[in-house]
Amino acid sequence: MHNVTNPFQACNDIFFKPNGVFKAVGEHNNWSWMPFLLVMGITLASQYLYVNFVDIEWFANINIAAQGAMSPAEEEQMRAFFTRDTLLWSQLIGAFFVLIIVNAIYAVYVNLATRSDDSHVFGFTDWYGFSWWLSMPYVVTLLIGVALLLFSGDHQTTPAILAPTSLSFILSVPMDSSWFAFTQAIRLELFWGIYLAIVGISQWTSFSRQKAAIIAIAPYAIIYIIWLVALLVS
């Protein structure tokens, strides 16, 4: 098996030889600080750049329009929120805590789902570190998104530009569409992360690849099917 000797190599090899990376991470759990810093850093940087780039008045109008019928007072109250500073802090704080919480929930899920493994040796903190390695594909696509943003001459651009492999970006789904969030969530990184989860769970447990795939795919399948049905019936 491919030998990974340090966390810097692991951050590179996770894209090409993930099996060796997960084997090494299982033996050096403190390596997971690297993907945490990379994912969190590029996520917050991309949000900072977007908020300072976008036409705030246009952004406010799009978000207000998406709310449907509102009284003039409600509209003014909402518009008052959309200052650049307020939006910036809400995006940065929101992104930080969403990543922390979502990965923690995922770690709880995988920890419980792998309890039946006879060789169960990994606990919540191990799986929490594991979850950050699954997020590494987002670093690649966010960097591409940042490049697109910096070279864009149009300040009236949706956040989908930071998700260039998403359906919302590819299909140019308008931001005020009820399908915008769903199509933005359907992206290459999602499936890449699921693949990494299958590889990692197979490496860290004695489960078959098929069982690892079921564990990796199940939460996403449930969430996205419910989300899709909700959109279709709304």
For residues 4 and 14, what is the distance between their CA atoms, to the nearest angstrom?
A: 10
Nearest Cα residue to 64 out of 50, 74, 53: 74
* Residue 58 counted as domain residue: yes
For residues 181 and 178, what is the distance between their CA atoms, to the nearest angstrom?
A: 7
* Residue 2 counted as domain residue: no
pLDDT of residue 1: 59
* Residue 1 counted as domain residue: no
Q: Considering just the CA atoms, what is the radius of gyration of the chain in Å?
A: 20
Question: Which residues, given as ranges, of the chain have pLDDT below 70?
Answer: 1
pLDDT of residue 67: 73
DSSP 77-92: HHHHH--HHHHHHHHH
pLDDT of residue 48: 97
* Residue 111 counted as domain residue: yes
Q: How far is CA 159 from its chain centroid? A: 13
* Residue 184 counted as domain residue: yes
* Residue 223 counted as domain residue: yes
Q: Domain tally for the chain?
A: 1
pLDDT of residue 101: 97
Nearest Cα residue to 14 out of 98, 166, 132: 132
* Residue 95 counted as domain residue: yes
DSSP 82-135: --HHHHHHHHHHHHHHHHHHHHHHHHHHHHHHTTT-TT----HHHHHHHHHHHT
For residues 22 and 10, what is the distance between their CA atoms, to the nearest angstrom?
A: 9
Residue 208: give the domain boundaries.
Answer: 7-233
